[in-house]
Structure 1
């Protein structure tokens, strides 16, 4: 794709529920090139998480979500080669290694 891979890909079956890693507010829910159906949740203090390639999105922009709440379902939208969750963590808008947050 010509750019750094900014998250971790977790292979799971199509339609598996995607749950918010922590409580926060949805700051983006929609289509984004490359990511396909994407949700970003702002958790405060500069921390946000992203969940890409969803088959369908279950939340809306501005919605408050709780930890563990279903925010969408695994799919293969955007640039992908099979159903999986692309999970990102950003600190002050900059992607960081998500493995330290799992």
Structure 2
């Protein structure tokens, strides 16, 4: 069994080890199952940390301030569309809700 599965290492050490293992796995070209067996890793743990690592590597979408644009009359709804996905929200939607919806919408 690999050292990463022992209980006598700190959480930070474990995370660091998994990052190293993940990078090695991704550059190996092996299947997750073969890599896990060859290195004494738990297959489901490798998949979890690879998925977590990939999420961390995705670029963060940020919002930019729209200043100096002409004022537009607001309708009673906000509509967002892309491809076959369309979302309508009331114009008085909270900023927190709108931010959460936009983040999900941009991830599609």
Larger % of helix: which? 2
Q: Which has the higher contact order (CA 8 A, sep 6+)?
A: 1
Same structural fold, with TM-score higher than 0.5 when normalized by the shorter chain = no
Larger % of strand: which? 1
**TM-score class normalised by the smaller sequence:** under 0.3
TM-score relative to the length of structure 2:
0.21
Larger Rg: 2
